[in-house]
């Protein structure tokens, strides 16, 4: 494969947790993931399988703690165990061992959003899908707060008969939260949520209706998850980081327990699928009909920064909603600008105060309002302009201003984050503004010796016409593991999202709330997990790939104002930021056509990635001989998008797709093509005709590179149009 001409490709590396240290010349014990060749036949009991696994472990002396950490039964053939580096190397040479590697540590990807996406009580898609009734969403995260009103089972149906899971809370669970388990090594007790992240994501996916939800009086209304009548099961996998062995064990348990949807707001960067435990667990999940939704990561806006790239996973990026918690900076020259802050004091003076730039002394630390950097800067009683960055938290910058007597803070973005702002619970009156706004404020400060400003707090404002916008932190494609698959797949709400929080959230204003507003692709992922649950309830016969197809081919490409979706630069977002576009739940319920993929269809695709038979076998959990497979190019997978590599000296490339009719029995579609710059595109046939529901038809698309193209990539769209449906299939051409 030739070198891709994208600028600033960023490779994300996962730090192995199991780095064995030397103590007295001997390696210490660390956790390793061990994959075994699948044995012939089936073990009758879990204890039999566990005994076979233990036969590979080193002999332990009496009184020594067990080496086995987790025994996997469903998603992979193998186990996690405590080994020294020398023992791990010796184990690799044993008969029946496929691979041994030190476990990795993954990171978390950290009310109004149902309304924003057209979900309304007693109407439309929510009503048609029974609010997700009967569907089980499994969430892998930091735990959960069972007594929160978002997890009340008022109005909930009984737990499904198929449910086999456990509840480790002493008081038990209920018909909303039907399961809760902890897989965090060394943790004793139930999967209580000390971080808040898991409570937030679980309630976003499937929280019940809660009236009067707000954060410090802002965004007041009825909170609910995307699938308010779906059941929830929490699998706690994150303590001090999210260990690979725990994630794999939780996915193993969730599949056996009977979940319908898995939601993982965590990840660890780009890694081959056969070494990615999330990808491995997800593949077995989709084999059993379980839909898997994962966050892209928060490493944007640089290209090539994705996590969770496997094509059998729905990879979700983050966007804004049309709500802001407005905090408007007003300068002494009369100019005002857009800004945001979750902390909205009622008593901040409207009179102008002195305005200073924290970095006027020429020190970078002061410009970033780093801890201790303002002790010799005169900020007392003043509004202080601070710069974002320097590896210092946004709220921590305000703390430095406050500690030195500052009256308020204006936090300006760096150039990388552009126009993307976040409503934070600041510790003093503050506002977060974009980069260009910050430059304008600095220019004003430099223009006068008596610069002044105040902040006007306007509270909750709805109806922003540029929403949704792709936020700066949302990780971008292309997929480094498979350039022939467009990633991310979709974007959804992930900025300033209000959802449940453990019992009491308190900011420095001594105001309590049981909800919190946070941002991240961690927040966008459970939105899509909940929507997948709605689709599963509405279409129980659809495969995970069919649900993904429906979500992608019906996605919105424009904002509320009818213009193209923009990114942090306030210009049109490219396809590596948006994927197929912004989720449109109601349209996804009636997509017209779907691109389906059966689990075995991935085998020729994986062989086409030049994986070995053993590596492919590790993923699909069966013996594979790639030489006997009809190996396909990456872009030939029946995916609801096209991602093609076009070399300067290469010829034309033709790819086929098969679509299934899930609309009216008698329907016909003709195509429209929005051709990528620098590419010639032809489609055959000109019309596809259906006479039955679930009937399949195949079409082909030929792509040819034009001469003298200097772009790194270009994008387009193939649209199949009938009397009732538009079926969008995005196209990206990457020029080698």
- Name the active-site residue from 141, 257, 260, 489: 141
Q: Is the pLDDT of residue 724 over 90?
A: yes
pTM for the full predicted model: 0.90
Q: Is the pLDDT of residue 112 over 70?
A: no
Q: Is the pLDDT of residue 108 over 90?
A: no
With residue 701 as reference, give the H or E element that holds it. strand 696-705
Say if residues 37 and 96 touch (Cβ distance below 8 Å): yes
The stretch 520-536 carries a mean pLDDT of: 96
Distance separating alpha carbons of residues 593 and 668, to the nearest angstrom: 11
156-175 per-position pLDDT tens digit: 999 999 999 999 999 899 99
The stretch 507-515 carries a mean pLDDT of: 55
Say if residues 156 and 229 touch (Cβ distance below 8 Å): yes
Q: Which tokens go with 281?
A: 């667990």
- pLDDT-based confidence at residue 45 (cuts at 50, 70, 90): low
357 DSSP β-pair partners:
385
Distance separating alpha carbons of residues 446 and 709, to the nearest angstrom: 44
For a pLDDT cut of 70, what percent of the chain falls above it? 91
The stretch 369-382 carries a mean pLDDT of: 95
Side-chain-side CA neighbours of residue 407 (13 Å): 18
353 DSSP β-pair partners:
453
DSSP state, residue 21: P
Residue 128, pLDDT score: 82
- pLDDT-based confidence at residue 125 (cuts at 50, 70, 90): confident
Distance separating alpha carbons of residues 441 and 355, to the nearest angstrom: 9
Residue 409, pLDDT score: 98
Q: Name every residue whose Cβ is closer than 8 Å to that of residue 5 and which is 6 or more positions away in sequence.
A: 712, 735, 736
DSSP state, residue 483: T
Give the burial class of 363: count Cβ atoms within 10 A of its Cβ; 0-12 exposed, 13-18 middle, 19 or more buried.
middle
The stretch 412-427 carries a mean pLDDT of: 92
What are the DSSP calls for 245-303, one per residue?
HHHHHHHHHHHHHT-SEEEE-EE-----GGG-HHHHHHHHHHHTT-EEEEE--S-TTSS
451-471 per-position pLDDT tens digit: 999 999 999 999 999 999 999
Closest CA to 434 of 573, 578, 570, 574: 570
Q: Is the pLDDT of residue 111 over 70?
A: no
Residue 60, pLDDT score: 72
Active site residue 197: yes
Say if residues 632 and 597 touch (Cβ distance below 8 Å): no
Residue 109, pLDDT score: 75
- Name the active-site residue from 148, 197, 432, 725: 197
Active site residue 112: no
Q: Which tokens go with 10?
A: 């960023």
What size, in residues, is the chain? 736
Closest CA to 463 of 392, 564, 559, 343: 559
Q: Which tokens go with 36?
A: 């075994």
Average pLDDT, the chain: 90
127-142 per-position pLDDT tens digit: 788 888 999 999 999 9
Active site residue 600: no
240-272 per-position pLDDT tens digit: 889 999 999 999 999 999 999 999 999 988 999
| Number of other CB atoms surrounding residue 105 within 10 Å | 16
Q: Distance from first CA to last CA of the chain, Å, rounded?
A: 9
- pLDDT-based confidence at residue 449 (cuts at 50, 70, 90): very high
- pLDDT-based confidence at residue 113 (cuts at 50, 70, 90): low
Over its C-alpha atoms, the chain yields an Rg (Å, rounded) of: 26
Residue 514, pLDDT score: 86
- pLDDT-based confidence at residue 11 (cuts at 50, 70, 90): very low
SS3 string, 411-474, reads EECCCCCCCCCCCCCCCCCEEEECHHHHHHHHHHHHHCCCCEEEEEEEEEECCCCCCCCECCCC
Q: Is the pLDDT of residue 222 over 50?
A: yes
The stretch 203-226 carries a mean pLDDT of: 89
Residue 24, pLDDT score: 38
Say if residues 109 and 525 touch (Cβ distance below 8 Å): yes
Say if residues 137 and 233 touch (Cβ distance below 8 Å): yes
Q: Which tokens go with 576?
A: 């590596």
* Three-state SS at 598: coil
- pLDDT-based confidence at residue 505 (cuts at 50, 70, 90): low
Distance separating alpha carbons of residues 677 and 551, to the nearest angstrom: 26
654-693 per-position pLDDT tens digit: 999 999 999 999 999 999 999 999 999 999 999 999 999 9
Distances (CA, A) of 212 to 177, 193, 387, 568: 21, 23, 35, 32
Distance separating alpha carbons of residues 151 and 147, to the nearest angstrom: 7
The stretch 351-376 carries a mean pLDDT of: 96
The stretch 292-313 carries a mean pLDDT of: 96
Distance separating alpha carbons of residues 562 and 260, to the nearest angstrom: 35
Phi, psi at 452, each rounded to 5°: -135, 160
Closest CA to 486 of 735, 730, 711: 730
Residue 436, pLDDT score: 96
Q: How distant is the alpha carbon of residue 425 from its chain centre?
A: 23
Give the burial class of 287: count Cβ atoms within 10 A of its Cβ; 0-12 exposed, 13-18 middle, 19 or more buried.
buried
Distance separating alpha carbons of residues 212 and 219, to the nearest angstrom: 9
- Name the active-site residue from 522, 529, 556, 667: 522
Distance separating alpha carbons of residues 304 and 279, to the nearest angstrom: 18
The stretch 502-523 carries a mean pLDDT of: 70
């Amino acid at each position: 494969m030739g070198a891709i001409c994208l600028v600033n490709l960023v490779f994300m590396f996962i730090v192995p947790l199991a780095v064995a240290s030397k103590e007295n010349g001997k390696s210490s014990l660390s956790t390793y993931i061990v994959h075994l060749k699948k044995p012939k036949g089936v073990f009758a009991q879990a204890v039999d399988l566990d005994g076979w696994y233990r036969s590979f472990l080193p002999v332990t002396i009496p009184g020594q703690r067990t080496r086995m950490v987790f025994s996997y039964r469903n998603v992979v053939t193998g186990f996690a165990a405590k080994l020294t580096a020398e023992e791990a190397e010796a184990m690799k040479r044993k008969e029946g061992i496929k691979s041994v590697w030190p476990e990795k540590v993954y990171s978390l990807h950290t009310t109004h959003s149902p309304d924003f996406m057209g979900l309304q009580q007693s109407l439309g898609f929510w009503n048609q899908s029974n609010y997700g009734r009967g569907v089980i969403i499994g969430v892998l995260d930091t735990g959960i707060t069972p007594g929160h009103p978002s997890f009340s089972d008022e109005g909930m149906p009984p737990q499904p008969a198929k449910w086999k899971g456990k509840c480790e809370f002493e008081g038990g669970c209920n018909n909303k939260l039907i399961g809760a388990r902890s897989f965090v090594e060394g943790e004793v007790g139930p999967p209580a949520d000390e971080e808040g992240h898991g409570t937030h994501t679980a309630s976003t996916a499937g929280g019940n209706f809660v009236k009067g939800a707000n954060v410090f009086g802002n965004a007041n209304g009825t909170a609910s998850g995307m699938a308010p009548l779906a059941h929830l099961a929490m699998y706690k996998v994150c303590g001090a980081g999210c260990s690979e062995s725990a994630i794999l064990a939780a996915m193993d348990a969730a599949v056996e327990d009977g979940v319908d949807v898995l939601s993982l707001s965590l990840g660890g960067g780009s890694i081959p699928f056969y070494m990615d435990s999330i990808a491995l667990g997800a593949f077995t999940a989709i084999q059993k009909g379980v839909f898997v939704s994962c966050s892209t990561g928060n490493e944007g806006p640089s290209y090539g920064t994705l996590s969770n790239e496997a094509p059998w996973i729905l990879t979700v990026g983050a966007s804004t909603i049309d709500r802001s918690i407005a905090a408007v900076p007003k300068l002494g020259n009369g100019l005002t600008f857009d800004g945001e802050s979750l902390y909205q004091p009622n008593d901040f003076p409207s009179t102008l105060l002195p305005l200073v730039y924290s970095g006027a002394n020429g020190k970078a630390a002061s410009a970033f309002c780093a801890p201790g950097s303002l002790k010799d800067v005169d900020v007392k009683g003043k509004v202080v302009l601070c710069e974002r960055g320097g590896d210092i938290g946004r709220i921590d910058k305000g703390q430095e201003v406050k500690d030195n007597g500052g009256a308020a803070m204006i936090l300006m973005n760096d150039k990388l984050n552009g126009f993307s702002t976040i409503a934070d619970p600041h510790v003093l009156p503050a506002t977060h503004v974009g980069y260009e706004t910050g430059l304008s404020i600095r220019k004003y400060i430099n223009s006068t010796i008596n610069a002044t400003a105040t902040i006007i707090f306007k509270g909750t404002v709805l109806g922003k016409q540029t929403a949704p916008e792709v936020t700066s932190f949302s990780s971008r494609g292309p997929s480094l593991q498979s350039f022939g698959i467009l990633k991310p797949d979709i974007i959804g709400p992930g900025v300033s999202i209000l959802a449940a929080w453990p019992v009491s959230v308190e900011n420095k204003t001594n105001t309590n709330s049981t909800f919190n507003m946070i941002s991240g692709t961690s927040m966008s992922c459970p939105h899509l997990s909940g929507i997948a649950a709605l689709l599963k309830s509405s279409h129980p016969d659809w495969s995970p790939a069919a649900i993904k197809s429906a979500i992608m081919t019906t996605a919105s490409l424009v904002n509320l104002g009818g213009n193209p979706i923009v990114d942090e630069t306030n210009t049109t977002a490219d396809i590596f930021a948006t994927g197929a576009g912004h989720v449109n739940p109601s349209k996804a319920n009636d997509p017209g056509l779907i691109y389906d993929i059966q689990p075995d269809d991935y085998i020729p695709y994986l062989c086409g990635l030049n994986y070995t038979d053993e590596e492919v076998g590790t993923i699909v959990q069966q013996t594979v001989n790639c030489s006997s497979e009809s190996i396909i190019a990456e872009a030939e997978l029946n995916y609801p998008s096209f991602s093609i590599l076009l070399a300067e000296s290469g010829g034309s490339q033709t790819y086929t797709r098969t679509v299934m009719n899930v609309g009216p029995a008698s329907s016909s579609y003709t195509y429209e093509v929005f051709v990528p710059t620098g590419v010639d595109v032809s489609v055959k046939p000109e019309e596809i005709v259906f006479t039955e529901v679930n009937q399949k038809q195949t079409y082909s698309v030929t792509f040819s590179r034009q001469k003298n193209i200097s772009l790194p990539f270009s994008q387009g769209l193939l649209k199949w149009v009938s009397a009732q449906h538009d079926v969008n299939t995005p196209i990206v051409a990457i020029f080698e």
